[in-house]
Amino acid sequence: MYNPSHAHIILIPYDFTDRSDCALAHANAIARKAEDTITLLHVYNAESKSRAKKLGKSLKDLNDDLAAVAAANQTSSGLVTNYQLEEGSVYELIPELCKKMDARLLVMGTHGIQGLQHITGANILKVAVDSPVSDIIVQNRMPAAHGYKTIVFPIDSSRASKQKTFQAAGMARLFGGKVLIFAASESDEFVLQKVTLNIQFAQRTFTANGVPHTLSHEDPKGASFPKQVEAFATQNNADLIVIMTGQDRDLLDIFSKSPEESLVNNKAGIPVMCVDPLNAQFGAILGS
């Protein structure tokens, strides 16, 4: 039976836009399966102060609005939904509160190039890198009724890809989904051996966890790896793409302006899960 006192927290930066509403919908879908609670966070800074002033809203008004959103979500979803309004820097507060709350997941909506509170483009990637938990970045694509059934799992030679494997397996188990492994092609035999070992580890992990999976390979004569990942995910109508952040990243470099931002802001609007191998807990998506 669902017991909120034993549940984990999913944190959603909330700025009263359609993108943060979309992030809340994704968080709800996960929380229902994992039996987690929801916490909405609105960061009150110079930008939001300016916007509030234009709307004739006080700090109390914003707090009341946030409380109303939380109450409405709890009523409609049946999930315990808390809220916090904090003043400060988005980059500092989000990682700090993730640790303080012992949150297991951060779900954020990105506005592309423009948006409130600078949770946009490369900036949302900075938040993801500094986050001590795994992050799911969404655009305006609402979660499917079946949740994350089809998960695309890019894999290359990175030594830290094991953590990404555990997280993908956890999410697939949560929704009874499948994982589509998409492996990088390498001409160098030494690097190719690393890719092969990572593939074998992923396959063993998915098999051990009862997760159906397939294996496809990058076309060595095709477009860049990130572009092929996006095309592959779009062709397979993926519900989620899982990548890595942190100090030991794979080919989908979080700071690579063109490839990475293109993937996070992919044209199909597929949510992207960013896993930091140094911080994310094994199986942290499971309801354990």
Q: Provide DSSP, 149-216.
A: -EEEEEE-S-TTHHHHHHHHHHHHHHHT-EEEEEEPP-SSHHHHHHHHHHHHHHHHHHHHTT--EEEE
Task: Determine, yes or no, domain membership for 207.
Answer: yes
Find out whether 14 and 107 touch, Cβ atoms under 8 Å. no
Task: Determine, yes or no, domain membership for 280.
Answer: no
Distance, CA of 164 to CA of 154 (rounded, Å): 10
Q: Residue 197 sits in a domain of what CATH number?
A: 3.40.50.620
Residues 161 and 250 in one domain: yes
Domain end among 116, 138, 160: 138
Which domain covers residue 170, as residue numbers?
150-275
Taking the whole predicted model, whether its pTM rises above 0.75 is answered as: yes
Domain end among 80, 115, 138: 138
Cα atoms in the Cβ-side hemisphere of radius 13 Å centred on 64: 6
Residues 121 and 34 in one domain: yes
Residues 93 and 169 in one domain: no
Domain count, the chain: 2
Task: Determine, yes or no, domain membership for 286.
Answer: no
Residues 65 and 110 in one domain: yes
- Tell me the pLDDT of the chain (288 aa) as tens digits: 444 555 799 999 998 889 999 999 999 999 999 999 999 999 888 777 777 788 888 888 889 999 999 999 999 999 999 999 998 888 888 889 998 998 989 999 986 434 433 444 456 667 777 778 889 999 999 999 999 999 999 998 887 677 789 999 999 999 999 999 999 998 889 989 999 999 999 999 999 999 999 999 999 999 888 889 999 999 999 999 998 875 444 444 443 444 444 678 788 999 999 887 665 553 444 444
Find out whether 30 and 173 touch, Cβ atoms under 8 Å. no
Task: Determine, yes or no, domain membership for 155.
Answer: yes
Per-residue tokens: 201: 């580890």
At residue 260, the pLDDT reads 47
Residues 174 and 112 in one domain: no
